[in-house]
Structure formats: C-alpha cells, structure tokens
Amino acid sequence: MQKYRLILSASESTKRYLITLPVPVTDLSSPFTLDRDRSVKDVEEQPRNTKKKSEQLEYEEEAYIKLKEQEKYPLVIEDAENRAFSGRLQDMPNDNYFIFINTGQNFQVVPLRRWYRFTQKISYETLSLEEAELKLSKKNREEDRWMMHKKKDGEKDLYDEIDYTEEFDDDDGEELLVSVKQRPKKLSDAGKEMKKLMQNYEKEEEEEESVEEDIKESIKEHNKFKEEPKRVKIPDLGENNLKQIFIGKSLSIKELLKIVKERFRIDENAKNVIKNFIKENCVFKIDNKTNEKLLELKK
C-alpha cells in the first residue's frame, strides 16, 4: 500500500474559498461575473402581521451575527451566455475543512475558510395571456390524440414485445472497447478566470474586514481615554472632510483616525462614513521602507 505525506506549508496558512459547481468550469463561457443576488427575500424575515404569544430567543455570538448578515443574499456566478448559478455558504461552525491536492509523491494540504455550493438557476419563459391560452389548448389536443383506451378481453397486442437481450447475427461476441480521453490536469482559461475571480473576492472581503476591525479598535481606545465632555460643538465628519485630509498624502488607518479624532465627532455614523469612503475612494499600497499598509486616493 503506497503511503503519502501530508504537507501544510507556511504559504498556505491563509484560508481559501471553495466553490462547487454542478457543471465543469471548462463548460462555461468567459468572462464570468460574481455578485450578490439582492432580489432574493430573506427566509428568516417574518410577515409584519404575524402575531406570536411567545418567542424563544437563542444567544448568538457577534461574529456569527455578522456572518449571517454578510451571507443574507446568495452569490451568483454568470457567464457570457447568461447561464447563472446561485451559491449559498455551507454551514460549518465547529468543523475545519481542508483540500488535499495530489502532487505525485505528497498531498498538499490547503485549509478552507468558506465553502459555497452552487446550483444552476432555472430561467422560466414569460408568456402573455394569449400565448398561455394558445399553448394550453395545444397541449390538450395532444393529450386527446394519445389518450389510451381500455383493451378488450382476449385482444392481443398488435406488436410483440422486443427482446433486448436477443443476440443478433452481426454480433461477433467481442466486447466493445471504449477509450475515454482523460482531461488535462492544468487549469483551462475558464478555470484560471474563475480562480482569479474568487481571489479578488477574497481580497476585497479581507481588506474590508481589516478596515472595520482597525476602526473599531481605534474608537474603543479613544472612548477609553477621552476626557470629560466640554461644552464645545464638534462638527460631524463628511466625505469632503476626508478628501481634504488625503490631498497629497498617503496615510495608514491609525494615522487617519488620529487626525479625524482631533477634528470631528467619533460615533457610529463617523465609523460608517470612514468605512464607505475607504472602500469607494481609496486604494492600498505597501511602504517599501516600513512594510506598512497605507491608503491613498484613487487616481
């Protein structure tokens, strides 16, 4: 029995996303698009007119509540031929999942962060009232034509049943050999594009989570050491204020929050303004000297 080694390298410490599709990636037509389907209603939303005498509430951690809010709407992958696939996050709260990639002598172990299972969306044909009536009447005529009648007693079948196991003269007794061409192990262009699409999606979510955590930590530190409130009106933070701060500068998140705290009011609204501004108007870059992540305005 051949033995293999499982190898988990330091470069694979970052967890990846896994998507499973009902069709091979090579069957899809590039380019692909990946987005959230916000037209789907939340299944957990209760009707407003529903009245309950009692309701059982269960404790949920803040991280789980945040994850439920992020995954409220399903992911949708659509190719160039308008074939769409809807994907939901697979629930794995207390489990760890890994992918094992056969490299010949060893198995490379890749940890999973999230796992999405996709199913193909069925597009229904929309008919007008006249078209629907015409189609229904045509269907009824076909059913009347092929309606089965009860067979009279003693009546024989017009056709004998075919014996599919019967041997024919042209059978030479040899087995039919079918050669199956193996698919190449290398990623096709469609596979590479799908991989790039998921990597960009992972990067955007990680950057968004990193920004949100830094903002939360700085606000918590500010509230911990703030002085007694003075009777001075502090202006609210706006998008134009942030643009003025960034003119001709590259700032880290901590430097940005330090400037904002000195000039403006820090509350939940300011937090959302900063988060949305960074997402829509800024790009990240790495300082070659300090290896620190900096923000600057998009060009």
Say if strands 5-7 and 98-102 run parallel, antiparallel, or are unpaired.
Answer: unpaired
Contact 268, 223 (CB under 8 A): no
Residue 243 has pLDDT above 50, yes or no: yes
Say if strands 106-120 and 16-20 run parallel, antiparallel, or are unpaired.
Answer: parallel
Residue 266 has pLDDT above 60, yes or no: yes
What does pTM read for this prediction? 0.41
**pLDDT for res 51:** 60
pLDDT greater at residue 127 or residue 77: 77
**pLDDT for res 159:** 46
Residue 267 has pLDDT above 60, yes or no: yes
Could you tell me which residues are beta bridge partners of residue 116?
Answer: 19, 89
Query: In sequence order, what DSSP letters do the residues of 35-49 get, joined into one string?
Result: EE-TTSPPTTPPPTT
Q: Percent of the chain having pLDDT more than 90?
A: 0
The CA distances from residue 157 to 150, 151, 161, 220, in Å, are 12, 9, 9, 86
**pLDDT for res 167:** 53
Considering only CA atoms, which of 224, 295, 239 is closest in space to residue 269? 239
Give the Cβ contact number of residue 98 at 10 Å.
15
Residue 155 has pLDDT above 60, yes or no: no
**pLDDT for res 99:** 82
Q: How confident is the model at residue 140 (pLDDT cuts 50, 70, 90)?
A: low
Considering only CA atoms, which of 289, 286, 117, 285 is closest in space to residue 299? 285
Residue 103 has pLDDT above 70, yes or no: yes
pLDDT greater at residue 222 or residue 275: 275
User: Where do the domains of the chain lie, and which CATH numbers do they carry?
Assistant: 5-39+68-120 (2.20.25), 200-225+234-297 (1.10.10)
At 6-56, the pLDDT tens digits run 877 766 666 678 888 888 888 888 887 888 888 766 555 555 556 666 666
